[in-house]
Amino acid sequence: MNCAHCGGTLTLEDMTKPNCPFCHNVLKHHAQAAEHAVLVNKIMADRFNAQYPGIPPGQIPQIGHQFGAPMNASFDQFAAHQTSQALKRAGMITVIAVVIPIVLALVIGGVAVVLMLFRM
Ligand SMILES: [Zn+2]
C-alpha cells in the first residue's frame, strides 16, 4: 500500500502506525478508524444513557481511537457495576423470599396455638 499523501510505499509495520514514516501525515485508514470510533462512541453513549439514565460517563463503554487499539477498560467496569447491582437485587429477593414465609409460618403457627388453647 502507498501513502495517499506522498505516495511512499508502506510496509505492514508502517501501516500499524498512525502516521506515514515519510511525510508524517496521518494515514487514511487511521483517520477513518478514528472517525468511526467517534461515531461508535457517540451511539454507545446515547444508548447507554437511554437504557441506564444517570449513568456516570466513566461507566459508558468507549472504544479507543487508535487503529487496532484494544477496547477501553470501562467495558469491564460497566459489567462489574451491573453485576454488583444484580447481586444486590438478588440478595434483596432472597431476603424477601426467605423472611416472608418464616414470618407467615410464625403468624399461622401462633394463630393455630391460640386456637388450640381456646378449644381446651
Ligand atoms: Zn506519506
Ordered by start, the domain boundaries in the chain are 1-72
Taking a C-beta distance cutoff of 8 angstroms, is the pair 61, 78 a contact? yes
pLDDT, tens digit, 9 for 90 and up, residues 18-60: 899 999 999 988 888 888 888 988 998 999 999 999 888 888 8
- Residue 23 confidence (pLDDT): 95
DSSP count for the chain of H helices, then E strands: 3, 0
Residue 26 CA to ligand 1 centre (angstroms): 8
- Residue 21 confidence (pLDDT): 94
Taking a C-beta distance cutoff of 8 angstroms, is the pair 19, 67 a contact? no
Residue 66 CA to ligand 1 centre (angstroms): 18
CA 89 to chain centre: 18
Residue 53 CA to ligand 1 centre (angstroms): 45
- Residue 110 confidence (pLDDT): 87
Q: How far apart are CA 40 and CA 38, in angstroms?
A: 6
**Which residues are close to ligand 1, an ion, with C-beta < 5 A?**
3, 5-6, 8, 20, 22-23
Q: How far apart are CA 83 and CA 65, in angstroms?
A: 27
Residue 27 CA to ligand 1 centre (angstroms): 8
Largest CA distance in the chain: 106
Q: Is residue 2 over pLDDT 90?
A: yes
